Amino acid sequence: MTEEIIKIAGAELPVNEELTIKKHRMIGSGESEKRICVVTGIHGDELEGQYVAYELARRIKEDPEALQGTVDIYPAMNPFGIDSVMRGIPAFDLDMNRIFPGNSQGDMNEYLASEIVKDMVGASLCLDIHASNIFLTEIPQIRINELHKELLVPIAEKSNVDFIWVHGASTVLESTFAYSLNSIGVPTLVVEMGVGMRITKDYGDQLVDGIFSLMGELGIWKAYVPEVRRPVVSYDESGMDVYYLNAPVSGVFIKDTLHGAVVSEGEHIGRIVNPLSGELLADIVAPADGWLFTIREYPIVEEGSLMGRILKQEVYEGCRN
């Protein structure tokens, strides 16, 4: 096996610094031409993928002979954001996941985005690892645009996540990294797991197992591949499978139920309280039976803030039976 750190794109900064986006390339000694790209850090405050990037490389290096094809790990798509604890691109206040496929003639960020896409061309599979945001904790899941479900759902089922959520197409999402890559024929899975600004090691280990499973399927990895769990799959193109819990009032949300819980209609999930007056402002209960796959982590809520998502019981049960 050979390995190398490669700069894939860069830009000069005003005072004595260069912004670079790098990847860790590992090429196995086998014959396989296949290549998997593991990408994270498009949002600078989502750090769950940092552990995955490290752990994946560590496990490959433990058994280098088993590697057949190519593994490219891109741990920091938005190095500015990671460095300054910001979701977007600092200085521009720009969501990096809304500028793809980029533009080689565009501004610095669009140029970097276009170089990133160029680097992925020809890959057999790509995983774009996100960590929800700082507000919500998520069960390890893969989100798939309905336009790409036929190809991607069978692949996602091998990735050891708990949940696959096929959502409706939306014009706004056409500027995401995953949409751009899927459009040019690089199958790309969007992973959401854990919460922003933290590393949930168990989820990281679960996903790394899943990546080895995918590498096994692709013939990139010829060694023990852990057995993967069977995910719940929601074909939610019409947006009817999920209940959204939005805060009815502004206040402080106290989470009383953990994400991943199966809840019944009317079951207590949390409270919104007013620390100034000591009042209970709202008792948050499940609107129906189902699976609480998202829960709010950040306590401050305002009217409308998302506090949780519940997958309908029949969808959940349908996959579990």
Partner 1 sequence: MQELELFRINALYRDDFRIMGYSFGEGEETVCVMGSMRGNEYQQIYVCSLLIKKLKMLEEEGRITEGKKILVIPCGNPYSVNVKKRFWTIDNTDINRMFPGYDKGETTQRIAEGIFRNVKGYRTGIHLASFYMPGNFVSQVRVMKTGLENVEMAKQFGLPFVVLHHPRPFDTATLNYNWQIWETNAFSVYTASTGAINKKEANKGMRAILNFMSKNGVIDYRGDEGYISRVVESTDFMAIRSHTAGFFEAMAGAGDRVEKGQKLAVITDPMTGDVKETLCSGEEGVVAFMHNETLCYQNTAVIKVIPDRV
End-to-end CA gap in the chain: 43
Q: Can you tell me which of 12, 62, 150, 227 binds partner 1, judged by CB under 8 A?
A: 12
Instruction: Give residues with Cβ within 8 angstroms of 18, minimum separation 6.
Output: 10, 11, 12
Tokens 């036929």 sit on residue: 150
Contact between 2 and 65 (Cβ < 8 Å): no
Distance CA 12, CA 110 (A): 15
Taking residues 119 to 158 in sequence order and writing x for each that binds partner 1 by CB under 8 A, - otherwise, the string is --------------x-x-----------------------
Contact between 309 and 303 (Cβ < 8 Å): no
Instruction: Give residues with Cβ within 8 angstroms of 93, minimum separation 6.
Output: none
Residue nearer to partner 1 on the CB measure, 21 or 67? 21
- Least distance CB 287 / partner 1 (angstroms): 12
Residue nearer to partner 1 on the CB measure, 35 or 87? 87
Q: Does 183 bind partner 1 (CB under 8 A)?
A: no
- Least distance CB 201 / partner 1 (angstroms): 26
Q: Does 14 bind partner 1 (CB under 8 A)?
A: yes
Q: Can you tell me which of 1, 11, 262, 285 binds partner 1, judged by CB under 8 A?
A: 11
Residue nearer to partner 1 on the CB measure, 151 or 169? 169
Instruction: Give residues with Cβ within 8 angstroms of 170, minimum separation 6.
Output: none
Q: Which two tokens stand for residue 199?
A: 């590393």
Residue nearer to partner 1 on the CB measure, 38 or 112? 112
Q: Does 262 bind partner 1 (CB under 8 A)?
A: no
- Least distance CB 200 / partner 1 (angstroms): 21
Q: Does 238 bind partner 1 (CB under 8 A)?
A: no
- In DSSP terms, 236 is beta-bridged to 167
Polymer length in residues for the chain: 321
Q: Which two tokens stand for residue 49?
A: 């993928």
Interface contacts to partner 1, rule CB under 8 A: 11-16, 87-88, 91-94, 98, 105-108, 111, 133, 135, 171-175, 244, 246, 249-252, 274, 276, 300, 302-306
